[in-house]
């Protein structure tokens, strides 16, 4: 699957010059000419509006409405967290799956919020007016303030139903205000047993051919009743044929196609490599922890699942950046743009040498990376208790400030998300938290060194195991009521927090000054320099390439187009479709190649020739998981859930010869609902054409 | 500590142009002029012979004689394997340490063999004559044959006492025959508690200041009696002062200072990165496994210790190769040599473009790396049972061939080492072997893919856990008698092996053809190309730089020179010495910063101002662990056991401004023997000046 850990990197826009089917396009700027020329397809306003309003975001994943009464299709791995949250030692919905035949059996996901993009508004002029003539910290603060105000004004009084967000596109070339309809009550209707979507497990993830039913169905509720929607995608029974035009509509998280070479080298040498170092070790730890017993296996299962997915992404991106071709081409593009600037004196005067400025910022980025990671991103404290304590402490400080002066993650428009996470009823398992915390405490000592004042402050005369035990045994933050009390002490937040004797609160209070200091240094000396200079590069690039380009992914709604197509791997053609028969052939009975009992029992009823998974040339990236794959009639022909091994390079460029989106076919979903899961009621409700 | 996993890379010679104190010099070609000019020191024949014959190799580490009755000084971490082998669930010598006050209490190390270099003979002409006019596989076979013959003739009848080895220096520029005196009976006399040498643990390893008593004393035996030696190093009571000239005499394992840029990139992108990927994950696994209980902690302790050390080396080398400076300089050196060749038509005609040939071999190296690693180096099967089975199967095949036609690791001269390993009485713990094997089986599926024929053959319809359990539960290879029977069935080795129903033997038999095939491809298309062309580069380099250069490290005896000197870290000076008082200051009581009880009890008796650890500018690398550090009078002033964080770059260049050797001072060893361990008998025997 294709869920991606978001990287904490700012930056980025515009594409490299057009490859076939390249691009994650905003809905206000679709590649109409290319669609017309290549596919004879006209994206008229009605079509675009319908696709936009049928598309849904789950926060980290994509999804879509598939019925008038609020049924929402997404990936199974996008609801895996919910399945784990509603499970217990007695009942494991992740393993067993779930089918609510009656509405009253639909199960609420405690932390899931759905949203639908309603409107896009260009606010570039407003933002630019607010920051005009400012630089550095003043620029950053003014921009935070105007964004917070635009968000707040847009939301108005109806906070429960409306969410707004200013999106920075083309690296500051454009600012758009996105308004969403919120659905804060999402309930699970159907999820297959984990063995069906996760068939092939980590070995098959990001590989192809594959055979995964990575699908699940939620229902959006409003006021305790199913949400009624006018825009949704009906299913196409036949799906798409080889060569047929297919769109994805979803929210790709982040691409880095326009980082400078210096930034790509920092990403490779520092960020990705350190992510790999941490991730691989934690993977081994969790793998062995899960062997302690069924309950430990359940508790750590979801963490390990997403960790392994993240490691594949990191490895793929590292390999892409280490392969000789990519940086060679990036260097050539950089040289080409520099030459273009050099040939244009007016532009040269305006632009200067932003590459050099960014390269200098990389020296700082490399120097402070370990401290920033450990202290500000909180990797020193790998436990949910720490995240909760930090939200409480910083939230108290930040909410006492005017909206525009806060850390952006505590602006009024973001508070509903913060509170949803903070008050999540998802269980916390103290013994598991101790294991992770002890590990991360040994790591921070390794990263910063035993004699670092932060390490000395945190460990004192204790070992990581002793500190972890003391903190976890002493905290009350596992109790939601305690969190609520600390958060809601509105009159004098700081005093309540300061008086708390909770060891995690005390820890955050003791270390927050250093965390804020390194954050400030990072923002002022790295990200601000990168943003300011990337804006200059973007200007030059617009001048060179014109405006018919797409921005880098920003976690917001995009449309991609492509067609059903295999590729050639080491000289051998890879067919675009797999079928149910292939899944049974691949079944060994040994995990992760063990089909669920329901499948084995249903084998005689299943149409083994029915297409199951397929690949297309759509340009997607992590965050697109759960994206509807639709045909020109806006019918669902598939459900995106993964990319092939070459898709990792998509973070940096799009190579349509090998980069492929992987989806479950619409026919495959219908076949399983009918002949494996007997989901009669659901099938009666889902419009199929 | 500075023990390094040997990398399977051929190649390499000559240094870059002389930095201060650079060089790992062979004893037949010492930098006499530099020593005279800089230190007014004359290395006369008597001095050199004495140092050579006082130096000892343990196979993976360095050591030295320190008394006329065969006492041998080396690092504690060099005997950690032995300490674990002689330990049991009842008695843990690694944790508790060991002091034999009487000779009959000295404990034999089951797999340790000591050797002393006796003679160096130039056999370049003999080797060249044997391979003259040959290329490719014929060249390789002829060279293997002549080396095997030279070795065998040199050893003669006295196999028990003599070992010989042809050493390839200057990448084939020279071949020298090294003759050694073997001491196959080595017994432990003194080892401190693990908490003393390992004080600071992984966090302090490769860092400085540090406080480790990484020292142990063995005794060489011959015919059941202490070996009598005429050459040994007396201790210097006062040790060395800041700025004083210090030599190390030891066996650095491998440097890669003369790899081409293309080779360095392969090393970085493929070998080191994959080593890190594997190592970090296994580290997490073993860390968590050790928490199962005291016995599991003991069983997996030594594996984890060396793994963590290896990860630090790998990380350090990766960071060195990723830092912009190193490859920039290597590229400049390459360009300089290419220009030199271009300016010399005769040389140009002879040399051609070896860099291009090596670069082309890298394409193959990258392509086959995963398969070579998994299948030929056996990383698919991370268990000692597999290593044993493979030795038995290949040994049967190879020993039936003439000496010169065998795989080199089974040549007659190597068989004593093979047998020592094969018949090692070191215990094997089946449950631990299952954990490692299951893990590596999941990894090979990840590296090669589920559909790879090798993976399909090994796993069949089973999961990695099932295969690991079946193999480990079914094998008898834990029994030394079974191994001996299979190895010693001399009359018809193949038949005995082929009939064995041991599952590991069966596994090796079933997979060996593919393993040999990928090895052949690697040797013919990668290493042979690299060797042939590296020889050409070496010729050009000799022509450019002359012959007053040192060869890359080859695991054989070398002398380095340097002086006691701190360095400057981020603008702050680092003092060259630490003292016992510093160790007590660093003591927190929590592992790994907990001094042993013996130290705490002895605190009042210890001279806290006595120097303990120190740093010098000697040029050493992994394999030098245990090297005597001697003054100009050939007295021991220290014992090398580590390098600072900058020493990792020493694999690729020597930067005397920051690269430092770390040792225990002679005074520090004497102080601890006297006032902590009360080793009266030892102190009476060790000559001190």
CB B42 within 8 A of CB B32: yes
Least Cα distance to A10 among A263, A289, A379 occurs for A263
Q: What CATH number has the domain bearing residue A91?
A: 2.40.10.120
- Give B467 to chain A, closest Cα distance, Å: 11
- Give A503 to chain B, closest Cα distance, Å: 20
Task: Tell me, yes or no, whether B447 lies in a domain.
Answer: yes
Predicted pLDDT of residue A493? 58
Check whether residue B265 and residue B364 sit in a common domain.
yes
Predicted pLDDT of residue B9? 29
Distance CA A247, CA B543 (A): 64
Burial of B501: CB neighbours in 10 Å, binned 0-12, 13-18, 19+: exposed
Taking contacts as CB-CB distances below 8 angstroms, the residues of chain A near B459 are 590
Read off the pLDDT of each residue in A263-269 and give the average, rounded to a whole number: 96
User: pLDDT tens digit string along A435-474?
Assistant: 999 999 999 999 999 999 999 999 999 999 999 999 999 9
The partner residue sitting opposite B590, judged by closest CB among A265, A276, A463, is A463
Least Cα distance to A110 among A76, A81, A70 occurs for A81
Check whether residue A253 and residue A128 sit in a common domain.
no
- Give B592 to chain A, closest Cα distance, Å: 8
Read off the pLDDT of each residue in A66-91 and give the average, rounded to a whole number: 95
Taking contacts as CB-CB distances below 8 angstroms, the residues of chain A near B200 are 450
Taking contacts as CB-CB distances below 8 angstroms, the residues of chain B near A203 are 442, 445-446, 449-450
Out of A182, A214, A230, a domain closes at A182
Distance CA B478, CA B463 (A): 23
Least Cα distance to B197 among B313, B83, B303, B291 occurs for B83
Taking CA–CA distances from A449, the nearest residue in chain B reads: B203
Task: Tell me, yes or no, whether B222 lies in a domain.
Answer: yes
CB B636 within 8 A of CB B233: yes
Checking if the pLDDT of B492 tops 80, the result is no
Out of A182, A209, A228, a domain closes at A182
Q: What is the mean pLDDT of chain A?
A: 93
Predicted pLDDT of residue A496? 83
Predicted pLDDT of residue B4? 44
Read off the pLDDT of each residue in A87-116 and give the average, rounded to a whole number: 95
Predicted pLDDT of residue A570? 86
Predicted pLDDT of residue A490? 59
- Choosing among A281, A303, A441, which should be mutated to test the B contact, i.e. which has the most B CBs within 10 A? A281
User: pLDDT tens digit string along A106-118?
Assistant: 999 999 999 999 9
Q: Hey, how many other C-beta atoms are within 10 angstroms of the C-beta on B460?
A: 11
- Choosing among B199, B308, B320, B450, which should be mutated to test the A contact, i.e. which has the most A CBs within 10 A? B450
Checking if the pLDDT of B6 tops 60, the result is no
Helix locations, B475-526, DSSP H = 480-488, 493-499, 503-522
Predicted pLDDT of residue A135? 76
Check whether residue B328 and residue B397 sit in a common domain.
yes
Distance CA A352, CA A363 (A): 20
Burial of B453: CB neighbours in 10 Å, binned 0-12, 13-18, 19+: exposed
Distance CA B517, CA B523 (A): 10
Taking CA–CA distances from A318, the nearest residue in chain B reads: B269
CB contact under 8 A, A288 and B283: no
Read off the pLDDT of each residue in A93-104 and give the average, rounded to a whole number: 97
Q: Which of A566-575, B486-495, B608-617 has the lowest mean pLDDT?
A: B486-495
Say how many domains are in chain A. Answer: 3
Alpha-carbon dihedral sign for residues B474, B475, B478, B482 = positive
Read off the pLDDT of each residue in A470-489 and give the average, rounded to a whole number: 95
Predicted pLDDT of residue A548? 74
To the nearest 5 percent, what fractions of chain B are helix, strand and coil?
50, 15, 35
- What is the 3-state secondary structure of A596-627? CHHHHHHCCCCCCCCEEEEEECCCCCCCCCCC
User: pLDDT tens digit string along A360-413?
Assistant: 999 999 999 999 999 999 999 999 999 999 999 999 999 999 998 999 999 998
Predicted pLDDT of residue B18? 42
Predicted pLDDT of residue A1? 54
Taking contacts as CB-CB distances below 8 angstroms, the residues of chain B near A281 are 280-281, 283-284, 287
CA A339 from chain center: how many Å? 36
Q: Which two structure tokens, joined as six digits, stand for A308?
A: 């392994």
Of residues B609 and A172, more confidently modeled: B609
Check whether residue A216 and residue A136 sit in a common domain.
no
Distance CA B247, CA B561 (A): 4
Q: Which two structure tokens, joined as six digits, stand for B411?
A: 């040549």
Task: Tell me, yes or no, whether B175 lies in a domain.
Answer: no
Taking contacts as CB-CB distances below 8 angstroms, the residues of chain B near A593 are 450
Q: Under an 8 Å CB criterion, which residues of B touch A?
A: 200, 202-204, 207, 265, 268-269, 273, 276-277, 280-289, 315, 318-319, 322-324, 435, 439, 442, 445-446, 449-450, 459-463, 466, 588-591, 593
Task: Tell me, yes or no, whether A268 lies in a domain.
Answer: yes
Task: Tell me, yes or no, whether A61 lies in a domain.
Answer: yes
Of residues A545 and B200, more confidently modeled: B200
Of residues A137 and A331, more confidently modeled: A331
CB A565 within 8 A of CB A243: yes
Out of A545, A576, A611, a domain closes at A545
Task: Tell me, yes or no, whether B92 lies in a domain.
Answer: yes
Predicted pLDDT of residue A492? 58
Predicted pLDDT of residue B250? 98
CB contact under 8 A, B281 and A280: yes
Quick one: what percent of chain A has pLDDT higher than 70?
96
Give the H or E element holding residue B388: helix B384-399
Check whether residue B306 and residue B284 sit in a common domain.
yes
Check whether residue A417 and residue A518 sit in a common domain.
yes
CB contact under 8 A, A204 and B450: yes
Q: Which two structure tokens, joined as six digits, stand for A513?
A: 């000054």
Taking CA–CA distances from A432, the nearest residue in chain B reads: B288
Taking contacts as CB-CB distances below 8 angstroms, the residues of chain B near A204 are 450
Q: Which of A1-10, A195-204, B174-183 has the lowest mean pLDDT?
A: A1-10
Checking if the pLDDT of B8 tops 60, the result is no
pLDDT category of residue A21 using cuts at 50, 70 and 90? confident
Alpha-carbon dihedral sign for residues A297, A302, A304, A308 = positive
Q: How far is CA A609 from CA A213, A577, A679, B425, B624, in A?
A: 16, 11, 21, 58, 64
CB contact under 8 A, A288 and B288: yes
Q: Which two structure tokens, joined as six digits, stand for A492?
A: 């004098």
Distance CA B364, CA B357 (A): 11
Burial of B244: CB neighbours in 10 Å, binned 0-12, 13-18, 19+: middle
Helices (H), strands (E): how many in chain A?
26, 20
Check whether residue B339 and residue B403 sit in a common domain.
yes
Check whether residue B490 and residue B617 sit in a common domain.
no
Number of inter-chain CB pairs under 8 A, A vs B: 106
- Give B542 to chain A, closest Cα distance, Å: 31
Check whether residue A329 and residue A392 sit in a common domain.
yes
Of residues A19 and B176, more confidently modeled: B176
Check whether residue B558 and residue B506 sit in a common domain.
no
Predicted pLDDT of residue B10? 28
- Choosing among B208, B210, B277, B443, which should be mutated to test the A contact, i.e. which has the most A CBs within 10 A? B277
Taking contacts as CB-CB distances below 8 angstroms, the residues of chain A near B268 are 322
CB under 8 Å to B479, separation ≥6 — which residues?
A: none
Q: Which of A221-225, B243-247, B653-657 has the lowest mean pLDDT?
A: B653-657
pLDDT category of residue B547 using cuts at 50, 70 and 90? low
Taking contacts as CB-CB distances below 8 angstroms, the residues of chain B near A589 are 461
Read off the pLDDT of each residue in A630-653 and give the average, rounded to a whole number: 97
Boundaries of domain holding B76 = 32-113+184-257+552-685
Task: Tell me, yes or no, whether B253 lies in a domain.
Answer: yes
CB A198 within 8 A of CB A592: yes
CB contact under 8 A, B446 and A204: no
Check whether residue A48 and residue A147 sit in a common domain.
no
- Give B325 to chain A, closest Cα distance, Å: 13
Read off the pLDDT of each residue in B313-338 and give the average, rounded to a whole number: 93
- Give B121 to chain A, closest Cα distance, Å: 44
CB contact under 8 A, A322 and B269: yes
Task: Tell me, yes or no, whether A664 lies in a domain.
Answer: yes
User: pLDDT tens digit string along B442-478?
Assistant: 999 999 999 999 999 999 999 999 999 999 999 999 9
User: pLDDT tens digit string along B338-387?
Assistant: 999 999 999 999 989 999 999 999 999 999 999 999 999 999 999 999 99
- Give B593 to chain A, closest Cα distance, Å: 9
Q: Which two structure tokens, joined as six digits, stand for B167?
A: 């050493």
The CA angle A191-A197-A199, to the nearest 5 degrees, is 145
The partner residue sitting opposite A207, judged by closest CB among B287, B315, B449, is B449
Least Cα distance to B351 among B360, B362, B339 occurs for B339
Taking CA–CA distances from A274, the nearest residue in chain B reads: B315
Least Cα distance to B233 among B561, B639, B619 occurs for B639
CB contact under 8 A, A287 and B439: yes
Taking contacts as CB-CB distances below 8 angstroms, the residues of chain B near A288 are 284-285, 287-289, 435
Least Cα distance to B334 among B368, B358, B298 occurs for B358
CB contact under 8 A, A202 and B446: yes
CB contact under 8 A, B280 and A285: no
Quick one: what percent of chain B has pLDDT higher than 90?
83
Check whether residue B46 and residue B108 sit in a common domain.
yes
């Amino acid at each position: 699957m294709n869920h991606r850990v978001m990287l904490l990197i700012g930056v980025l826009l515009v594409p490299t010059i057009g490859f076939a089917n390249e691009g994650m396009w905003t809905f206000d700027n679709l590649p109409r000419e290319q669609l017309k020329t290549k596919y004879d397809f006209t994206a008229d306003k009605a079509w675009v509006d319908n696709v936009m309003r049928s598309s849904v975001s789950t926060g980290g994943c994509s999804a879509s409405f598939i019925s008038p009464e609020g049924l929402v299709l997404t990936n199974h791995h996008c609801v895996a967290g919910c399945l784990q949250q509603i499970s217990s030692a007695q009942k494991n919905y992740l393993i067993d799956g779930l089918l609510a035949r009656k509405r009253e059996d639909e199960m609420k996901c405690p932390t899931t919020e759905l949203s639908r993009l309603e409107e896009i508004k260009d606010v570039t002029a407003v933002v630019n007016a607010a920051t005009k003539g400012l630089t550095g910290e003043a620029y950053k603060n003014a921009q935070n303030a105007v964004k917070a105000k635009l968000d707040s004004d847009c939301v108005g009084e109806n906070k429960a139903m409306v969410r707004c967000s200013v999106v920075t596109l083309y690296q500051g070339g454009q600012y758009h205000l996105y308004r969403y309809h919120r659905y804060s009550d999402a309930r699970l209707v159907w999820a297959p047993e984990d063995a069906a979507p996760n068939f092939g497990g980590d070995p098959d993830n990001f590989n192809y051919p594959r055979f995964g039913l990575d699908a699940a169905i939620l229902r959006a509720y409003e006021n305790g009743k199913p949400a009624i929607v006018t825009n949704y995608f009906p299913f196409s029974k036949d799906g798409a044929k080889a060569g047929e035009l297919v769109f994805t509509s979803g929210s790709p998280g982040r691409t880095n196609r326009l980082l400078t070479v210096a930034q790509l080298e920092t990403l490779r040498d520092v960020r990705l490599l350190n992510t790999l170092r941490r991730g691989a070790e934690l993977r081994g730890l969790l793998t062995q922890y899960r062997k302690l017993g069924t309950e430990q296996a359940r508790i750590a299962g979801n963490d390990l699942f997403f960790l392994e997915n993240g490691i594949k992404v990191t490895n793929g991106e590292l390999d892409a950046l280490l392969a000789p071709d990519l940086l060679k081409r990036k260097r050539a593009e950089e040289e080409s743009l520099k030459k273009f600037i050099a040939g244009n004196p007016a532009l040269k005067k305006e632009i200067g040498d932003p590459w050099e400025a960014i390269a200098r910022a990389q020296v700082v980025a490399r120097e402070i990376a370990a401290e920033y990671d450990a202290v500000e991103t909180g990797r020193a404290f790998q436990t949910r208790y720490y995240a909760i304590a930090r939200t409480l402490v910083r939230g108290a400080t930040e909410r006492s400030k005017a909206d525009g002066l806060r850390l952006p993650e505590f602006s009024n428009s973001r508070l509903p998300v913060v509170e949803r996470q903070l008050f999540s009823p998802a269980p916390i398992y103290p013994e598991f938290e101790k294991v992770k915390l002890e590990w991360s405490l040994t790591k921070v000592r390794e990263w910063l060194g035993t004699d670092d004042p932060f390490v000395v402050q945190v460990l004192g005369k204790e070992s990581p195991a002793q500190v972890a035990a003391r903190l976890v045994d002493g905290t009350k933050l596992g109790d939601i009521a305690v969190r609520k009390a600390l958060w809601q002490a509105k009159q004098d937040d700081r005093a309540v927090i300061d008086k708390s004797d909770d060891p995690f609160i005390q820890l955050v209070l003791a270390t927050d000054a250093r965390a804020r200091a390194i954050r400030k240094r990072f923002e002022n000396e790295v990200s601000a320099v990168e943003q300011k200079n990337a804006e200059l590069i973007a200007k030059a690039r617009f001048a060179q390439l014109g405006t018919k380009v797409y921005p880098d992914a920003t976690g917001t709604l995009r449309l991609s187009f492509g067609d059903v197509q295999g590729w050639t791997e080491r000289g051998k053609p890879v067919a675009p479709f797999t079928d149910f028969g292939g899944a049974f052939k691949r079944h060994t009975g040994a995990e992760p190649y063990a089909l669920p009992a329901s499948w084995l029992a249903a084998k005689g009823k299943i149409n083994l020739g029915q297409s199951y998974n397929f690949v297309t040339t759509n340009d997607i990236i992590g965050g697109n998981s759960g994206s509807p794959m639709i045909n020109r009639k806006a019918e669902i022909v598939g459900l995106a859930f993964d990319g092939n091994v070459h898709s990792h390079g998509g973070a940096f460029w799009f190579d349509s010869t090998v980069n492929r989106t992987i989806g479950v076919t619409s026919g495959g979903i219908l076949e399983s609902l009918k002949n494996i899961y007997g989901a009669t009621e659901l099938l009666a409700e889902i419009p199929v054409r």
